[in-house]
Structure 1
């Protein structure tokens, strides 16, 4: 019988900087109303009785607070995982797809959302200081897991204040790993980049269903 290859342990994911705007974004998410929390939970496929729904809301809030603590402290995923295990044990809840998968998902998605929101705030502040000099360049991670539609939008450049970013600032779908590279007019000239024309076919590609108009 062939031996099964040993599973590789995920490497520690450390948050390298204390990103004030990202922390603020997480704090705003903690201030959401109950209906908004229910919408967040339904995105993860949550179906439960009213009693179970209350447990899930408590778990979600506690996990988001743990992510906030991780961003504030610049800690690793392993430290968050310890908090994750404590939280779900305290509430007597478990993910149908397993703790390891769910912990990674929560950590990756919530930190990505927070850092994306923080990056946008920084970009808008740069544009306000020097109008017409700051642009966003949509970037994918470039591997085989990138969705075809997302790959087609790679490299789109639009002014930071453009309406395009109202619907297309990543994430643009569940577990989306795209991000916006903030560039200046000087950087664009140096790289030989041009602003993407509104008539370009890629500009017509919509975010995944259920995403967009979130900001």
Structure 2
């Protein structure tokens, strides 16, 4: 099967995204995201930016080492206690949310950059993104609608709908060529397809890959 599966990462570009992310304050990163059409970041109190940065640094270290959400959870409690922060809900849920948001954004930014590099290396080949959901009962109805959408990697749809498209979103894209489309019987989605007009979850109408590109200059 073409493309990069969710389990095939961390990869170099995703790790680089997290490292670059650590060089910015949360407010500066949010400004970059708004410039890329706006995307919500991890849920962290604005007054606890130091705690947020410690969580990000820990997530980056564990992600680079090939760790798991369980590894992050072990570190999460110690960081929260150090800052005297108590979750209003289930700490495990909040820990998993932060892990999924940070690593999901890293994977998305890395996948975007990989596709751009591929297109630059092979300018005569046309590449597309194919939207893929987790395919189970937990997939949101709107996200399920997008499953199977195939559009050029420079299509306007990806400016606002490049996953993740919501908190705890498990969607991703596959990078495919015209040859892949023929091989698997996939067709390019028409611009008039009603699914393209379905908005992403509130606060997620952006593209972390583009924001990361702006950060890197």
> TM-score, with normalisation over the residues of structure 2?
0.80
Q: 8 Å contact 1:38–1:57 — kept in the other structure?
A: no
Shift of 1:38: 7.6
**1:141 corresponds to which of 128, 134, 142:** 134
> How far did 1:117 drift?
0.9
Q: Is the 8 A contact 1:19 1:71 kept in 2?
A: no
- Residue aligning to 2:173: 180
Could you tell me whether the CA contact under 8 Å between 2:164 and 2:172 is conserved in 1? yes
Structure 1 unaligned blocks of 5 or more: 1-14, 47-52
Match of 2:152 among 151, 156, 159: 159
Q: Hey, what's the Cα distance between the residues in 2 that align with 1:104 and 1:87?
A: 14
In 1: Cα distance, 2:181 partner to 2:41 partner: 40
Preserved CA contact (<8 Å) 2:62 2:68: yes
Report the secondary structure of 1:106's partner residue: helix
Gaps of 5+ in 2: 1-6, 32-38, 211-217
Aligned length: 194
The aligned counterpart of 1:58 is 50
Q: CA deviation at 1:126?
A: 0.7
Q: For residue 109 of structure 1, what is the aligned residue in structure 2?
A: 101
TM-fit CA distance, 1:174? 2.0
Change (3 A) 1:38 1:195: closer
Match of 2:4 in 1: none
Q: CA deviation at 1:33?
A: 3.1
Structure 1 pair 27–153 and aligned structure 2 pair: CA distance change class (3 A): same
Q: Distance in 1 between matches of 2:148 and 2:18?
A: 28
> Which of the pair has more CA radius of gyration?
1
Query: RMSD in angstroms over aligned alpha carbons?
Result: 2.3
In 2, distance between residues paired with 1:187 and 1:38?
36
Query: Following the alignment from structure 1 to structure 2, what is the Cα–Cα distance between the partners of residues 174 and 36?
Result: 21
SS of equivalent residue, structure 1 residue 127: helix
The corresponding residue for 1:171 is 164
Identify if the C-alpha distance between structure 1 residues 176 and 57 changes in structure 2 by more than 3 Å, giving closer, same or farther: same
Superimposed CA distance per residue, residues 29-69 of structure 1 (whole angstroms, 9 cap, x where no aligned partner): 223335346889986374xxxxxx54x21111000001100
Correspondences of 1:14-163 after superposition (within 5 Å): 17-36=9-28, 44=43, 46=45, 53-54=46-47, 56-131=48-123, 132-163=125-156
- Deviation of residue 16 (structure 1)? 6.3
